[in-house]
Amino acid sequence: MKRVRVALCAGWLAVVAGTGRAGEETVVLRDAPGRDLTLARCVICHSVDYIEANAPVMDRALWQKTIRKMVDRYGAPVTDEDAATILDYLTAQYSAAR
């Protein structure tokens, strides 16, 4: 079942990527430890625009809850070790308290 969800996310991403609109800028995540892993895992199902859009209201607890939801509900291929690295990155770089 997880493979089906991941395949659907990947397919959706391919469709969305092919429908780019003129004038939109590409979001580039801040360069810091954990960026590459965060990018690799998150873009499987959605753009990183969501990270910047949600950052003003997020703190460590909310990022952790969001990561858990992505894994548990949507089947994101994220190990516990990956989740810890992503959480540290998002907390340091994209939290309201930053």
Q: Set out the domains of the chain in order of their start, with CATH numbers.
A: 2-93 (1.10.760.10)
Mean pLDDT for the stretch of residues 42-69: 95
Task: Give residue 13's pLDDT.
Answer: 44
- Alpha-carbon dihedral sign for residues 80, 82, 88, 94: negative
The residue that leads in pLDDT, 96 or 57, is: 57
Residues 52, 75: Cα–Cα separation, whole Å:
22
Closest CA to 32 of 74, 89, 83: 89
Is residue 83's pLDDT more than 90? yes
Is 95 in a helix, a strand, or coil?
coil
Pick the more confident residue, 89 or 22: 89
Which pLDDT band holds residue 26 (cuts at 50, 70, 90)?
confident
